[in-house]
Amino acid sequence: MFRQHHPPHWYKDNSIYFITARTIDAESYFIGPSKRKIIYDALKEGIKKFKVDLYAFVILNNHYHLLFKIQKGVELTNFIGFINGKSSKTLNELENKSGRKIWYQYWDHCIRNEKDFFLHFNYEHHNPVKHGYVNLQEEALDYQFCSYKYWVDKEGIDWLSECFARYPIKDFTIEHDGF
């Protein structure tokens, strides 16, 4: 019997998506830089394979967020499946836990306009603070699994500060999502 994903995924070509992918029971499988790098490496490989334009990302112990543009909307599931499958396989090989299921599911949101883009952009860059990986936003510069430093280097701290001021951070956490 076919079971539809809830909420349903929407597939739009040439669209920007915000993604949240979470581990089963929000289990912290990716503690420490070497394990978070497993997701990061799978993400880099997936970006090339699916020709995705990545705008922002953050990788944490039990979930990640991405903000990206995909050319063919129907490839959204394959792109996320590639990242989750590759990272699961690598982690399971590392920990000798063959066949263990790591990822629960993912939630997608198709970005509607500039405001929506920057609200999600800022949310991702604030995630290391929100989840206690760093204490202050400036310390996110040292958190290597977030695109915050990339944007500071590319556009400058004043530009990012203006983004945060113009589009204050909202909490996009889904009720009862286990974070």
Quote the CATH superfamily of domain 15-166. Transposase IS200-like (3.30.70.1290)
- The whole-angstrom separation of Cα 138 and Cα 4 is 41
Average pLDDT of span 4-29: 84
Q: Where are the alpha helices (DSSP H) in 4-140?
A: 33-50, 76-94, 114-130
Question: For residues 24 and 3, what is the distance between their CA atoms, to the nearest angstrom?
Answer: 18
Half-sphere CA count of 113, side-chain side, radius 13 A: 2
Is the pLDDT at 16 greater than 60? The verdict is: yes
pLDDT in tens, 60-113: 999 999 999 999 989 999 999 999 999 999 999 999 999 999 999 899 999 999
- What pLDDT does 120 receive? 96
Establish how many alpha carbons lie within 13 A of residue 117's alpha carbon, considering only the half-sphere containing its beta carbon.
11
pLDDT of residue 169: 86
Least confident of 11-15, 28-32, 56-60, 156-160: 11-15
Place of tokens 């020709």: 51
Measure the CA angle with vertex 147, ends 144 and 150; round to 5°. 95
DSSP 15: E
Q: Quick one: how far is CA 49 from the chain centroid?
A: 17
pLDDT of residue 171: 73
In this prediction, residue 7 has a pLDDT band, given cuts at 50, 70 and 90, of low
Q: How confident is the model at residue 3 (pLDDT cuts 50, 70, 90)?
A: very low
Characterise 156 by phi-psi region: left (phi > 0), alpha (psi -120 to 50), beta (else). left
pTM attached to this predicted model: 0.90
pLDDT above 50: residue 123: yes
Question: For residues 129 and 135, is the Cβ–Cβ distance under 8 A?
Answer: yes
